[in-house]
Chain A
Amino acid sequence: MLNSAKVLSPAASAAVLERRQEAEADWLLVRRIQAGEVARFDDLITKYRERIWGVIYHLCANREDAADLTQDVFLKAFQSINRFQGQSAFFTWLYRIAVNTTLNHLQKAKLRRFFSLEKIRDEAPVADLLDKLADPGNASDRAACLGELQQKLNEAMQKLSIKHRTVVTLYEIDGLSHEEIAEITGSSVGTVRSRLHYAKLQLQADLRDYLQA
């Protein structure tokens, strides 16, 4: 008889443990804020602003809109912090606000959207990847190659529906688990897996000229 419990790899177990500790630390911070130490909210902003901005930016593909929406998300979280009961992780709650705020913005600005992309930061840990993505033999044209790739990738991402784009962003770019995405989007884990599968199929079809067969 097979054991139905999911067996996690050591790395996955460490990640789960880290998430749990992080959630407990956030909850303590939230309780202090709820008790009146509102300045502690800056700690939460500093901790999560890049991740929240990243989610919003990859969903709307506009850096200025992403900045405004990120500020709005933290403002909403601050105004509603007393209603947070700790039944879920704080970052899950914050992500949910971010996703909903972004989806509302995208629905309102459906007809007046344009891309405003952030530059790709050429850092040492990802140099190998960039070497592979760009032509290693033409260092002078490396930026142009990456720019074209970025443009095509964003175009393909924006062709996805909002729901599919959200799942791809949270899973592939932000590294959340299926369960966390399901909690954030208010859907089942199976739905999340299904959406991720079809979104990747569509991306591969759109980017087939740039990807391995």
Chain B
Amino acid sequence: MKYGHKITLQDAQGSAGKPTLDELLRLKRLERPDAAFWQRFEQGMREKQLAAIIEPRPWWHGAALLGTRFAPLAIPATLGLAAVFAVAIFNLQVNRPEGINIAKKGTAYIAWNASPGTGHTENTVAPAKGGRDEVKTYAKIADKPMFEALEPALASPTLTPAAFAGKSDGVKNFNETDDTKAKGQSPAAPRELLRSNQELAGGDSPPAAESFVATDFLALPTISAEQSGLSNDAIELESRLSARQERLLALADERVEANSAADIAHVRERMVHRLDSEESRLASASRLGVGGDRFSLRF
């Protein structure tokens, strides 16, 4: 027995006298407090009501109340805000401000002023720091958008757009030299092509090249010695690229300060000669291009 000497319910009841579950649950309804309990309840209720009146509400109570009041508008407001945000992003992409260009990975540009008074107001020349994964845009075109700067070249009688792309009119693409190289021709052929293209670019029709666009050498793809045909000396030369690049740019800066078209042409000639003397770099050059007053080499 569970309660000492007393007979428990389980012991007292026979199987026939046992209640059902519903009857047992009705027993729960009988668990009710007496009148004294309700008197204490009312007194406690009054105290809590008074305490609630004088007790300052937390700072977030107003916000919570406001949120509850405007809860039915929550979904439409959210959808509206999302739509406005999407339209804003779309407009930003479509109406991108002029002069903002997204640099592609693996390509960097180095440019400097070659002719004064042509719209370029800033010389920003610096070596790339982040290796091949970090791309920096060094040329800042202050006044002219990109396509406007290309218009003179496209209108040039000697350089058609196709010529600018290096497909015809005597301007050849260095990629085409892969075939000649495969055919056993002289490795000096790319140099000849470079020289001929340079002559076309430096002709009388286009204005003096305003900027020289070169590839960030650190961003070049890795080519093994067997693939590129470079000697050990050439590999060592690659390791000193940044120093050479700085020397080239310093040389160009000196010439820019002269503010003379003759100097610009001289700089260009020196650059070409310099590139001529470095076979390894010349072999990796893939395209020579002239756009408007811009002369570019793509590696």
Residues of chain A whose beta carbon lies under 8 Å from any beta carbon of chain B: 45, 49-50, 53-54, 57-58, 63, 67-68, 70-72, 74-75, 78-79, 83, 117-123, 126, 129-130, 132-135, 137-138, 141, 144-150, 153, 157, 168, 172-173, 200, 203-204, 207, 209-213
Contacts and interface: CB of A to CB of B under 8 A. Distances in A.
A172 B27 CA distance: 11
A13 B18 CA distance: 33
26 contacts: A53-B33, A53-B41, A54-B29, A67-B44, A71-B48, A75-B48, A75-B52, A83-B68, A118-B31, A118-B32, A120-B27, A135-B12, A135-B13, A138-B7, A141-B7, A145-B12, A149-B24, A172-B25, A200-B21, A210-B10, A210-B24, A211-B18, A211-B19, A211-B20, A211-B21, A213-B15
Contacts of B104: none
A111 to B, nearest CB: 25
Nearest to A83: B68
A126 B17 contact: no
Interface string B34-50: 00011011001100110
A145 B41 contact: no
Q: Is the interface of A mostly helix, strand, loop or mixed?
A: helix
B21 A203 contact: yes
Nearest to A136: B17
A130 B24 CA distance: 10
A121 B25 contact: no
Q: Is the interface of B mostly helix, strand, loop or mixed?
A: helix
B3 A144 contact: yes
A212 B24 CA distance: 11
Contacts of B2: 148
B70 to A, nearest CB: 13
Interface-central residue, A78, A123, A145, by most chain B CB under 10 Å: A145
B8 interface: yes
